Amino acid sequence: RAARARLARLTPAEAHEAAGVRGGLIVDIRSERQRDDQGLVPGARFVPRNVLEWRADPRCGHRDPALAVDGPLVLMCAQGYQSSLAAAVLQDLGVAGATDMIGGFEAWAAAALPVVAQGSTAPSNRAK
């Protein structure tokens, strides 16, 4: 609860809009197996949870420049729990726009937002 209280959490529809119009980025921190089983969000950047901090930390020499966005950096896990904790840690590191998606990938799919299979480029609006 403490981590979530610090975040401006986004619904899947808000995250979709933030990534498409507001200069934000959805960062998928689910495991490779979850991504294989559930599918992917088109345009989301995959960053394994175990390397997220040093990939997003603006002061780290091993940061991923693609994570330095003008809009929200929206973390997405499977159900929206792990992502809340991770987003709070990123805020502690100075990533002010870090937040997460309420309900994670499962809520995204339930909202019939675009999903593609791992290795596919064709979007689908059906939940997996």
- Number of Cβ atoms within 10 Å of the Cβ of 30: 24
Geometric angle at alpha carbon 112, from 109 and 8, rounded to 5°: 65
**pLDDT on residue 22:** 85
User: How far is Cα 126 from Cα 67, in angstroms, rounded to an integer?
Assistant: 28
| Ranges of the chain with pLDDT below 70 | 120-128
Residue 83 is predicted with a pLDDT of 97
Q: Which helix (H) or strand (E) holds 97?
A: none
- 9-34 pLDDT, tens per residue? 999 999 999 998 889 999 999 999 99
**pLDDT given at position 118:** 81
